[in-house]
Structure 1
């Protein structure tokens, strides 16, 4: 009887929000993931391995704390920008070499919206090499986007919680799905051999205010985020917000352990925010 009751409770728990998330994970794991780009497209990522061995880079997020930083100070540094980050004041002077866009959630944002966003991006990110999820490969081909730009694809098909070693994540293979784009940039930067990675504007503090704010005013993507209303107020209930934050923090913690095991230094130089998985520092003390 006790065993039957435990089984019933387990299935009943799947009807709750987090239970639905767990069930989806199990169902995804039970079937082989679809291959959305030819294998050779992922294999080509091997050319990036240790491209920047021993060097340092900056990952510039889009949190509001970036407004306190003169990004022109990063001129001459190797920089990753993310998502709408090309709207930062000082972006042109910073001239990122790499730009990352994670898996896209369609809903309020349609295919036409993504095409509009990508065209805005194409005209705004200078000479940056672009990293996208494989799910956008067909759309890029269909609309002839980024024709003159180097585009790399990642296959976000795995689960961070199922990683059981501290090896660098191999972007030639399928990689874990990310809760936020700085996780994507960190995986790529470590694979490329950077020995020191400095985070800026990686705040993750919107749960305190209940509003998601950027360091700039979005253009093509304005009003397209399904998780907030038109004023930026977060729509999720606290329970689901905290579940998402827990997944995000576990991803950062795993990457912090990977970095330590591989003698990589990650520093959070954001002048604000709540991310506490990496030691804090300032641009001034880093000599910038």
Structure 2
């Protein structure tokens, strides 16, 4: 059946316009994915443009957030990441979406991840969850996040291989990320947000030689491969700078996509090292 369909499309593509070529490409991509993942990605199509023209705050976990009055986010569209449900005043603003990138197993084993996801579920309220497709089997086998909307992204391609400035389609395989705010930015653009405001995206551990959070970790405490439990770094400068170079290239790619699609990204993090986006004080968003 599949072989016959491919033959028909091959013949038709010689006669009909671009639409057939596009159909062949999508069918080919779909055939390479496990059926459950292909269906999960397809479900993301309903999100395209859902928040057209609106603004959102992407809340990172850097220590600079301690200086912000997060209760001001109440009533705003907020995307949190990883352990972001531990922020002070989280119960007041309750994020609409929450993102977790592909998990690196090492100090974290499957049992740790299950405990972390159970903790996450208990704090997140009604937030919709975005996970890497690599965790789908674990979620299914252990019946995690019962009653919650869970969506999957297939992370793995490289930003360096992209030449297009089109908004990244999260219903297809997408670039992998060095840091979860990049994942949140891709999602936010696909959702149609036109103003994206970064908070707590510090990325300055290479200056301070310490990796800290805006809160005390719980289940994940001491599980970071690159830092000790007290935040002192374990990674050497060479490997750290290689990772930072990839991260900054990803932010540059995101910046170029935003400019090409009339999307404005602001960095309202107090301090921090990220210099790819225009700065605007956090308080200024609530003085209009």
Question: TM-score, with normalisation over the residues of structure 1?
Answer: 0.87
1:131–1:152 contact (8 Å) kept in structure 2: yes
Quick check: 1:153 aligned with 2:152?
Answer: yes
How many angstroms does 1:235 deviate by?
1.1
Q: For residue 172 of structure 1, what is the aligned residue in structure 2? A: 171
Distance 1:253 1:36, change over 3 A: farther
CA distance in 2, matches of 1:229, 1:201: 21
C-alpha deviation, 1:252, in angstroms: 0.3
* Greater mean alpha carbon deviation, residues 226-235 or residues 79-88: 226-235
Contact 1:154 1:175 in 2 (8 A): yes
Match of 2:272 in 1: 273
1:284 match: secondary structure: helix
Inter-partner Cα distance in structure 1 for 2:136 and 2:79? 21
Distance 1:287 1:119 in 2: 34
Cα-to-partner distance string for 1:106-157 (whole Å, 9 max, x where unaligned)? 0110000000000000000111000000000000011110110000000002
Aligned to 1:83: 82
Cα contact 1:203–1:275 (8 A) shared by 2? yes
Gaps of 5+ in 2: 1-30
How many angstroms apart in 1 are the aligned matches of 2:187 and 2:82? 15
**Inter-CA distance 33–157: structure 2 relative to 1 (3 Å threshold):** farther
**Any conservation in 1 of the 2:37–2:133 contact (CA below 8 Å)?**
no
Aligned to 1:190: 189
- Could you tell me which residue of structure 2 aligns to residue 242 of structure 1? 241
What are the within-5 Å matches in structure 2 for residues 26-65 of structure 1? 35=34, 37-65=36-64
- The question of whether the paired residues in 1 share the 8 Å contact of 2:99 and 2:129 is answered with yes
2:134 is equivalent to residue 129 of structure 1: no
Q: Provide the residue aligned with 2:17 in structure 1.
A: none
Is the 1:204–1:275 Cα contact (8 Å) retained in structure 2? yes
Number of equivalences = 257
Could you tell me the TM-score, scaled by structure 2's length?
Answer: 0.87
Output the CA distance in 1 between the equivalents of 2:122 and 2:45: 28
| CA distance in 2: counterparts of 1:230 and 1:61, whole angstroms | 19
Deviation at 1:283, TM superposition (A): 2.2
Structure 1 residue aligned with 2:252: 253
Q: Is the 8 A contact 1:61 1:201 kept in 2?
A: yes
Alignment partner of 1:136: what SS? helix
Q: Distance in 2 between matches of 1:110 and 1:116?
A: 10
Q: Work out the CA distance in 1 between the residues paired with 2:91 and 2:176.
A: 30
Give me the whole-angstrom Cα distance separating, in 1, the residues matched to 2:35 and 2:196.
Answer: 30
Shift of 1:287: 2.5
Structure 1 vs Structure 2 CA RMSD: 1.3
Q: Work out whether residues 199 and 269 of structure 1, in 8 Å CA contact, stay in contact via their aligned partners in 2.
A: yes
- Per-residue CA shift, 1:35-74, capped at 9, x if unaligned? 4843111000000000000000000000000000011000
Mark the CA change 1:195 to 1:115 in structure 2 (over 3 Å): closer, same or farther: same
Which secondary structure state, in structure 2, belongs to the residue aligned with residue 40 of structure 1?
Answer: helix
- Structure 1 residue 285: Cα displacement: 2.1
Distance in 2, Cα, partners of 1:240 & 1:126: 37
Shift of 1:33: 7.3
3-state SS in 1 of match to 2:42 = helix
Which stretches in structure 1 are left out of the alignment for 5+ residues? 1-31
CA distance in 2, matches of 1:172, 1:146: 21
